[in-house]
């Protein structure tokens, strides 16, 4: 999912586990309830039929991954937590 987002693909996924930590529904993709096929179909059509939404979500998805999951930033954030605990 993160690889798809990093390459600029908006993600449609379910509200399961850690997925909502990565996908912000309505900003860089869409989240739907698990086992809700109607919601999934609607989300697919929403992105497929609206090029502006697709392009906006695509741009936001790549930016979200760079800002929140880039390796250097993740390491710096983790080191910050350790420093805070040590102090």
CATH number (domain holding residue 36): 3.40.50.2000
Q: Residue range 59-66: average pLDDT? A: 96
Percent of the chain with pLDDT over 90: 86
In the chain, how many domains are there? 1
- State the pTM of this model: 0.83
pLDDT for residue 77: 87
More confident residue, 23 or 74: 23
Mean pLDDT of 41-66: 97
Q: 13-47 burial, b for 16+ CB within 10 Å, e for fewer?
A: bbeeeeeeebbbbeebbbbbeeeeeebbeebeeeb
Average pLDDT over every residue of 13-42: 97
Give pLDDT, residue 30. Answer: 98
> Helix H segments across 1-87?
2-6, 19-22, 37-49, 51-69, 71-86
Q: Which residue range(s) make up the domain with 52?
A: 2-86
Q: Which two tokens stand for residue 67?
A: 């800002």
């Amino acid at each position: 999912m993160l690889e798809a987002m990093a390459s600029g693909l908006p993600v449609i996924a379910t509200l399961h586990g850690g997925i909502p930590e990565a996908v912000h529904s309505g900003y860089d993709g869409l989240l739907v309830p698990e086992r809700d096929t109607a919601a999934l179909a609607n989300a697919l059509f929403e992105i497929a039929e609206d090029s502006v939404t697709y392009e906006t979500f695509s741009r936001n998805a790549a930016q979200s991954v760079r800002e929140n999951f880039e390796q250097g930033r993740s390491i710096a954030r983790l080191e910050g937590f350790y420093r805070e605990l040590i102090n």
